[in-house]
Amino acid sequence: MNPRQLQQMAQQMQRQMQKIQAELANELVEGKAGSYVTVTMNGHREIRSITIAPDVVDPSDIETLQDLIVAAITDASQKAQALSEQRMGPLAGGMKLPGLF
């Protein structure tokens, strides 16, 4: 493969990665902690919303609510990571490239 072909392939790969990154910004995943807390996050792991069931809000037990929020965020983050890896995986040829995932 000559250097020009290699450069063209790299440019094409870069365009595909940019397209996928833009799509990930618009794709949403939900993380849940039971039926009490739901966190909606995009493919870049940016939180878009948090929904808390009213019956879980107990002023005398804030720790439980905090734990549920952390659990839902963790769940959403793992799902966003999996989505990103799924979308970028074919492009990276199955390699884990630093900074991409």
pLDDT at residue 31, rounded to an integer: 97
- Count CA atoms closer than 13 A to 79's CA, side-chain side: 19
CATH superfamily for 3-92 is Nucleoid-associated protein YbaB-like domain (3.30.1310.10)
The token duo for 20 is 């996928």
pLDDT attached to residue 96: 52
Instruction: Please report, for the chain, the start and end positions of each structural domain, with discontinuous segments joined by +.
Output: 3-92
Can you give the pLDDT at residue 101? 46
CA distance 32 to 46: 16
b (16+ CB within 10 A) / e for 52-84: beeebeeeeeeeebeebbebbbebbbebbeebb
Residue stretches of the chain with pLDDT short of 70: 92-101
Which residue type sits at 5? Q
With contact defined as beta carbons under 8 Å apart, do 26 and 42 qualify? yes
If residue 51 lies in a helix (H) or strand (E), which one and from where to where?
Answer: strand 47-52
